[in-house]
Amino acid sequence: MIEFTLLITAVLFGGMVLFSFGFAAFLFSALPADTARALIRKAFPHFYLFVIGSAAVALLGSVLADGENTLAASLMAIVVATTVYARQILMPAINAATDVGDKSRFNRLHGFSVSITLAHIGMAAWALILLAA
């Protein structure tokens, strides 16, 4: 069970890094800004579902593995809970700010969203280290 949990956590970590630093950057360099924004807006709900699902499976695996991965399980629980918030509350608020042209609100909310995602990447990395030890 620990090997599967380690692998799913690695998939979570890698997927978040690739989406955040690879896919998003690629879109904005390869497409016109308006097209890239529209595409990334459609991709984010799926990205968040990937994070929620992967982190939930890693959480379950951490709990079932051997009882010594309480911190890894806690980290994954935080990722699940805050990603649900990001998907259901924060993302619609960011979209609404964009739709009405409120750049100040967009910048604040987007910055918060980026901070959450960076924290998720850090928590997944920490969980990987704990699970691998």
pTM summary value: 0.93
28 Cα distance to chain centroid: 19
User: CB atoms < 10 A from the CB of 50, how many?
Assistant: 16
CA–CA distance, 58 with 30 (Å, rounded to integer): 34
Q: Six-digit token pair at 118? A: 């960076």
Q: What is the mean pLDDT of residues 66-85?
A: 91
- For 8-28, the pLDDT digits (tens) are 999 999 999 999 999 989 999
In 3-state terms the chain splits into helix, strand, coil percentages (rounded to 5) of: 90, 0, 10
Confidence of residue 66 (pLDDT cuts 50, 70, 90): low
User: CB atoms < 10 A from the CB of 8, how many?
Assistant: 22
The count of domains in the chain is: 1
Q: Six-digit token pair at 113? A: 């969203």
Q: What is the pLDDT of residue 98?
A: 95
Residues with Cβ within 8 Å of 114's Cβ and at least 6 positions away in sequence, in order, are none
- For 83-127, the pLDDT digits (tens) are 999 999 999 999 999 999 999 999 999 999 999 999 999 999 999
Domain extent at residue 15: 2-132
